[in-house]
Structure formats: C-alpha cells, structure tokens
C-alpha cells in the first residue's frame, strides 16, 4: 500500500519536529516537513493528501512568503489540495472570518493542538483523496 503524504509547512523548526513525531506513527502516512513555502512548492506535484500550513511563515525571515500568499500559490498549482492552516494567531474572530471566505480550516496552536491536529488528520485521511 502506498503511503499517504502529509506536508507540514512551518518556519518553527521545533514545531515541525513535534508535529512530525506526533503524526509519524499514523499507519500508511509519510510526514514531510518544510520550513518555508518556497521549499514546498516544487514538491506539490507529489499531491499530498493534506498540507498543514503555518499562517505566519515570514516570522523568522521577513523575505519568506506568508501563509496567506502560499495558500494562493498552492491552490493555483493543485486546486483540489486540502489545506489546513495552523497558527499561533489568537485572534479567533479574524481566523473565523478568513475561514468563512477562503474555505480553509484553521487550528490555533496551543498545548493541546497536536492532539487536535492528529484527530483532524485522521478524520481527513479517512475520507479525502486528492485528485
């Protein structure tokens, strides 16, 4: 059986490793991490089942593409791509408005978010396949 790929794009290296560890033991799943959208873009042809995308990718390097801009590029390249934003942003009202208009789910990073992300990933993988 072919592994389903999950891409995690986040400029926080500790968080990347944490999420790779958290999701790495899901059966038939390969977790691939990128610390910038620019590094992820060439691999979109691999059509991952899911991309977890940090909203503020430019926090460590202001020259990096933001998560907002990355979403547009990812969707142009693979329109059917399932993307979930992950963010330390705590303005949930702003995130809910963004979610409503962009049809993109958000998970706010917290001490419990890794368990929430794992549950969401399991749910999405059980019913989603990228065309």
Q: How far is CA 91 from CA 60, 62, 67, 125, in A?
A: 20, 21, 16, 28
Look-up of token digits 């991490």 = 33
Is-contact 69 102, C-beta < 8 A?
A: no
pLDDT at position 131: 43
Tens-level pLDDT at each residue, the chain (131 residues): 568 899 999 998 888 998 899 888 888 899 999 999 999 999 999 989 999 998 888 777 788 898 888 988 998 998 888 888 887 766 656 556 555 555 567 676 766 677 778 887 888 777 654 44
Rounded to 5°, angle at Cα 117 from 9 and 49: 60
Is-contact 16 40, C-beta < 8 A?
A: no
Look-up of token digits 């059966």 = 27
Look-up of token digits 């891409």 = 7
pLDDT at position 130: 46
pLDDT at position 37: 95
Query: Per the structure block, which two tokens stand in for 125?
Result: 């993988």
Domain 4-127 CATH (choose: 3.40.50.2300, 1.10.1740.10, 3.40.30.10, 3.90.79.10): 3.40.50.2300
Structural domain boundaries in the chain: 4-127
């Amino acid at each position: 059986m072919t592994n389903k790929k999950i891409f995690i794009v986040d400029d926080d290296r500790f968080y990347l490793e944490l999420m790779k560890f958290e999701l790495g033991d899901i059966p038939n799943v390969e977790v691939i991490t990128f610390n910038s959208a620019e590094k992820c873009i060439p691999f979109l042809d691999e059509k991952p089942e899911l991309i977890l995308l940090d909203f503020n990718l430019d926090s460590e390097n202001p020259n990096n593409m933001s998560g907002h801009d990355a979403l547009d590029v990812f969707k142009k390249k693979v329109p059917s791509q399932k993307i979930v934003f992950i963010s330390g942003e705590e303005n949930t009202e702003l995130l809910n408005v963004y979610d409503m208009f962009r049809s993109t789910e958000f998970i706010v990073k917290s001490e419990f978010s890794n368990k929430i992300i794992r549950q969401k990933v399991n749910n999405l993988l059980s019913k989603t396949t990228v065309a």
